[in-house]
Amino acid sequence: MTAPDSKLPIAYTRPSITDLEVEYATDAARNGWGPRCYDYIHRFEEGFASHLGVSRAIATSSCTGAMHLGLSALGIDAGDEVILADTNWIATAAPIVHLGATPVLVDILPDTWCIDPALAEAAITPRTKAIIATHLYGSMCDMHALLAIGERHGIAIIEDAAEAIGSAWGDKRAGAMGTFGTFSFHGTKTVTTGEGGMFVTHDAALAAKVDQLANHGRDPNEPRQFFPTVTGYKFKIANVQAAIGCAQVERIDELIAGKRRIMARYQALLGDLDGMSLNAEPEGSTNGFWMPTAVFSPETGITRERLMEAFRAEAIDARVFFWPLSSLPMFPDNPGNVNAYDVPGRAINLPSYHDMSEDDQARVAGVIPKLRNR
């Protein structure tokens, strides 16, 4: 056994920051005040909208904030229901709860780990206002099926694309297909501003509502100062953060290529192992591969606990697959969501920062064969 302290720790993610981010952030800190305090924010929004192919992008303090604004702008309210996958980060469900609505948690598909469209449709009631499609770890939800369901039932299809920068369904980018989409620029995501998010939509009226709600309910056409006309929120981004975002958007193709290169190397290192699957990339879709994830078949006997122990012993910061939301104390248990309960117990997220070396990836991959046939 190698002593853990004989090896440098391997982080699971970290941002890719170059002189360009430092230059823009420095300029924002020196000059981005007064009449110029929105310059980088507007440039960031325009750059991101153009990358995505949407008509409006509104920068926010987080993806959670963007989701809260979008749901609120759709009028989602007490008594309403919003359907989402049980496998999700809490950020997607919390805004539903805060608006007084009920998250309805349905099972995932076993291969993409994304919401099962048939179960989502079966869960629709007269109270259902929306389905949220979270593109888990970069894998695309079945947007063809979900958009058809939305149309059939007259409900909104929302995309949580926090993990799906670089992912696409045909020629449409993740986040650009639903009623609205949300993105995260948290420090662990493919594009980062430290903390930050984006609301995107093709719907000008919805964007106007979000503009107002994000800025304390102030109507841009209201002539009186300090005169909000609805009770809104404060979910804006800062110019300095947006400056970092502008540099990241200029580098977005390179950042996505880095994630895809890392996944390709894991596929080469691990792809031949029996009883293990990595993130899916269904026919006709592109996966931005935000978070390489390995899932082991039950026959291998490899569990989350054994994986965590083995990676910890090698000073590698691997992370657990999301717990089902319905297993958390604040939601009713729903073990009938078989895949959402089953997959996390035999899965692990692998380190994947953009400039990860081949040696470090080989070190990570080398842990896995040792766990087999013990």
Applying CB under 6 A, which residues contact ligand PLP? Answer: 62-64, 89, 91-92, 134, 160, 162-163, 184, 186, 197
Query: CA dist 293 to 27, 137, 147, Å?
Result: 38, 8, 27
Determine the distance from the C-alpha atom of residue 150 to the mean position of all C-alpha atoms in its chain, rounded to a whole number: 21
Taking the least distance from each CB to ligand PLP, the nearer of 51 and 186 is: 186
Query: CA dist 327 to 90, 133, 180, 337, 342, Å?
Result: 12, 20, 28, 10, 12
Q: How far is the CB of 162 from ligand PLP (least distance, A)?
A: 3
Q: How far is the CB of 113 from ligand PLP (least distance, A)?
A: 11
Q: How far is the CB of 70 from ligand PLP (least distance, A)?
A: 12
From CA 77, how far away is CA 199, in angstroms rounded? 19
Of 134, 144, 131, 203, nearest to 172 (Cα)?
A: 144
Q: How far is the CB of 60 from ligand PLP (least distance, A)?
A: 8
10 Å CB burial of residue 97 (0-12, 13-18, 19+) is middle
Taking the least distance from each CB to ligand PLP, the nearer of 252 and 302 is: 252
Taking the least distance from each CB to ligand PLP, the nearer of 206 and 291 is: 291
Q: How far is the CB of 199 from ligand PLP (least distance, A)?
A: 12
Taking the least distance from each CB to ligand PLP, the nearer of 162 and 256 is: 162
Taking the least distance from each CB to ligand PLP, the nearer of 66 and 156 is: 66
Taking the least distance from each CB to ligand PLP, the nearer of 12 and 89 is: 89
From CA 242, how far away is CA 24, in angstroms rounded? 9
Taking the least distance from each CB to ligand PLP, the nearer of 64 and 167 is: 64
User: Which DSSP symbol is given to 274?
Assistant: T
Q: How far is the CB of 308 from ligand PLP (least distance, A)?
A: 20
In the three-class reduction of DSSP (H, G, I as helix; E, B as strand; rest coil), residue 184 is classed as strand
Of 264, 237, 270, 224, nearest to 38 (Cα)?
A: 237
Q: How far is the CB of 138 from ligand PLP (least distance, A)?
A: 10
The answer to whether the CB of 368 falls within 8 A of the CB of 273 is yes
From CA 14, how far away is CA 364, in angstroms rounded? 16
